Amino acid sequence: MRVLILCTGNSCRSQMGHGFLQSFDKNIEVYSGGTEPAAQVNAKAVEVMKEVGIDISSHVPTHVNTYLDQEWDYVITVCGGANESCPAFTGKVGKRLHIGFDDPSHATGTPEFIEAEFRRVRDEIKNAFARFYITEIRKEDLPACSCGGAVNCG
C-alpha cells in the first residue's frame, strides 16, 4: 500500500498527516510532497507532533515532481492550493482524495493562540486520517456490518 500526501509547502499539514498515517500502520509506504516545498518542516508542526509521541523532525520537504511517475494507491491533497495545482501523474493512481485543513502556519496572534491553532489542526488531521485509515485501508480486514456499512457497528 502506497500513499502520497500533498500540500503546498510540504512543511506542516502534509507532514503531520504523513506522521499520523505512518504511526497507524508501519506496513504502509507513506510519502509527502509539496507543489512549492519549503526549505524545512515547520518547527511548530514538529513540536506539536512530538507532544503526541510522533517525531517528524527528520522529515524533509520534497517537491511533488519527485513522485509523478510512481504508482500510488492513494494521492491525498490536504490544502486547497495543492488540490487546485496538483499536476498530472504519469504513474498509476488508484484513488485521488482531498481532505482539506486550515493552515496553522498562517495563524496570527499571541504565541498561545498560534500554538493552540497548531494543536487544533493537528487533532483534526489525526481524526481525519484515522477515519481514512479505517474506511479506506483497513476496510478489507474488517467484517462488514449487517446494516450495510463497511465497518461492523455492533
The catalytic residue positions are 7, 79, 86
Residue listed under C-alpha cell 495543492: 82
Q: How far apart are CA 104 and CA 101, in angstroms?
A: 9
DSSP string, 107-137: --S-HHHHHHHHHHHHHHHHHHHHHHIIIII
Backbone phi, then psi, for 124, in 5-degree steps? Answer: -65, -40
Are 132 and 111 in contact by the 8 Å Cβ rule? The answer is no
In a 10 Å sphere around its CB, with 0-12 CB exposed, 13-18 middle and 19+ buried, how is residue 144 labelled?
exposed
Contact partners, residue 49, CB within 8 Å, separation at least 6: 15, 16, 19, 55, 56, 122
